[in-house]
């Protein structure tokens, strides 16, 4: 059983700033772009900010091409795993690229199958599909162990990837980690309600993160997701793990991060709960905390080498 330490993180970001880690991340950039997960408009980019990495496409036999952006640099590298329906162009993903560039560390962000610029049909995607995407990235697009940063469902996928590729996993950072959440949330519905959705073949969930105002999950999607649950037994992940979650998250309960912390085998686990944090954790202070967390892990891993 892992020991979960709750930290206040009152030390601030003085050490990161002194190293130049947040220099490119002006207030205009961190607060721009509206609702947390969408791309930041060009008008929000302050003068002097480095150009973004170029979109590339990875070809896979008999599978859709994956779109990705990569920055070469030192190890450990950082890989960002976005949330359900999100892309690699969100605020957190772009902020991390700038931060990694400032430290000279490698960084990769990508779109899952059916997401963003990647090929594939979004509605046909499954947890298993996107897990394969992550494993391909670890196997073919990066070198050496990585710090995986997973947002929401990306937090679930990073755990699955860490179990499957322990040798490619240096550390994990979960943001509003949604491990098993879709399955457990559906199973928690009243029996009659579940039967109604099963008869329709689709579970409709209201959301403010979609233009339609709702997500649609087929019964096939949920049944497939059952095969990837991680919270029913000890999670065989032993690397350092940091879990960031907002107490005001209306989409994924913060206690899921606590459950992950209790079940992983790692002895180095911190859970940081932000009092006013919401699901996307994309406010200026949220991103500062994320950057600080990764900077701290890089220092720790570099010291251990």
For residue 190, say if its preceding peptide bond is cis, omega within 30 degrees of 0.
Answer: no
Examine the residue annotation and report whether 26 is marked as an active-site residue of this protein.
Answer: no
Q: Which residues are within 8 A (CB) of 155 and not within 5 positions of it... i.e. 6 or more apart?
A: 81, 174, 175, 176, 177, 178, 179, 243, 260
Q: Pick the catalytic residue from 87, 151, 152, 257.
A: 152
213's torsion region: left (phi>0), alpha (psi -120 to 50) or beta? left
Which residues on neighbouring strands pair with residue 149, listed in sequence order?
80, 173
Sign of the dihedral defined by the CA atoms of residues 91, 94, 96, 98, in that order:
negative
Query: If pLDDT is split at 50, 70 and 90, which confidence band does 7 have?
Result: very low
What would the two tokens of residue 89 be? 């162009």
| pLDDT mean across residues, the chain | 86
Give dist(CA 17, CA 98) in Å, integer: 13
CB 149 within 8 A of CB 175: yes
pLDDT of amino acid 20: 40
- Strands across the sheet containing 55-60: 4-6, 269-274, 241-246, 169-175, 146-151, 74-81, 105-110, 63-71, 55-60
Predicted confidence (pLDDT) at residue 5 exceeds the cutoff of 80:
no
Tokens of 225: 């997701």
Axis-axis angle for helices 127-136, 153-164 (nearest 10): 60
Please tell me what DSSP assigns to residue 3: P
Residues comprising the chain, all counted: 305
**249 carries an active-site annotation:** yes
Which DSSP category does 204 fall into?
Answer: E
One of 209, 266, 279, 296 is an active-site residue; which one? Answer: 279
Nearest 5°: the CA angle 81, 152, 208 is 120
Structure tokens at 29: 């950039």
Phi then psi dihedrals of residue 281, to 5 deg: 45, 50
Alpha-carbon distance of 263 to 273, in angstroms, equals 18
SS3 of residue 225 by DSSP? helix
Reported pTM: 0.84
Confidence grade of residue 193 (pLDDT, cut at 50, 70, 90): very high
- pLDDT tens readout for residues 264-273: 999 999 999 9
Give the separation between CA 159 and CA 140, rounded to whole angstroms: 19
pLDDT, tens only, 225-252: 999 999 999 999 999 999 999 999 999 9
Give the angle 51-243-298 at the CA atoms, nearest 5°. Answer: 50
DSSP state of 141: I
Cβ 98 vs Cβ 50: under 8 Å = yes
Check residue 15 and give its pLDDT: 37
Q: Is 218 a catalytic residue?
A: no
Helix (H, G, I), strand (E, B) or coil at 71: strand
Give the per-residue pLDDT at 51.
62
Give residue-wise pLDDT tens across range 24-40: 443 333 333 333 333 33
Q: What pLDDT was estimated at residue 253?
A: 95
What pLDDT, in 10s, does the model give residues 127-183? 999 999 999 999 999 999 999 999 999 999 999 999 999 999 999 999 999 999 999
- What's the CA gap between 201 and 218, in Å, rounded? 6
- Catalytic: which of 111, 180, 249, 286? 249
Whether residue 99 is predicted with pLDDT greater than 60 in this model: the reply is yes
Determine what percent of the chain is predicted with pLDDT higher than 70: 83
Residues 6+ positions from 261 with CB-CB distance below 8 Å:
2, 4, 241, 243, 269, 271
């Amino acid at each position: 059983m892992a020991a979960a330490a709750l930290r206040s993180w009152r030390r601030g970001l003085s050490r990161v700033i002194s190293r130049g880690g947040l220099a490119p991340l002006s207030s205009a950039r961190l607060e721009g772009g509206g609702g947390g997960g969408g791309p930041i408009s060009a008008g929000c980019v302050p003068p002097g900010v480095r150009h973004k990495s170029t979109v590339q496409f990875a070809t896979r036999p008999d599978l859709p091409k994956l779109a990705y952006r990569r920055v070469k640099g030192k190890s450990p590298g950082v890989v960002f795993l976005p949330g359900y329906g999100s892309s690699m162009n969100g605020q957190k993903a772009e902020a991390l690229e700038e931060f990694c560039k400032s430290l000279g560390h490698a960084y990769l962000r990508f779109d899952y199958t059916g997401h963003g610029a990647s090929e594939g049909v979004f509605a046909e995607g499954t947890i298993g599909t996107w897990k394969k995407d992550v494993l391909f990235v670890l196997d073919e697009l990066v070198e050496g162990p990585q710090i995986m940063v997973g947002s929401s469902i990306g937090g679930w996928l990073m755990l699955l990837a860490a179990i499957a590729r322990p040798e490619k996993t240096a550390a994990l950072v979960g943001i509003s980690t949604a491990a098993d959440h879709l399955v457990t949330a559906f199973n928690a519905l009243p029996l009659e309600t579940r039967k109604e959705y099963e008869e329709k073949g689709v579970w409709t969930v209201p959301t403010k993160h979609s233009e339609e105002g709702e997500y649609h999950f087929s019964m096939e999607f949920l049944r497939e997701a059952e095969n990837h649950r991680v919270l029913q037994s000890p999670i065989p992940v032993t690397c350092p793990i940091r879990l960031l979650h907002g107490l005001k998250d209306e989409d994924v309960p913060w206690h899921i991060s606590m459950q992950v912390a209790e079940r992983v085998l790692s002895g180095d686990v911190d859970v940081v709960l932000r009092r006013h944090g919401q699901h996307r954790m994309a406010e200026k202070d949220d991103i500062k905390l994320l950057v600080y967390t990764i900077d701290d892990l890089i220092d720790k891993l570099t010291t251990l080498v």
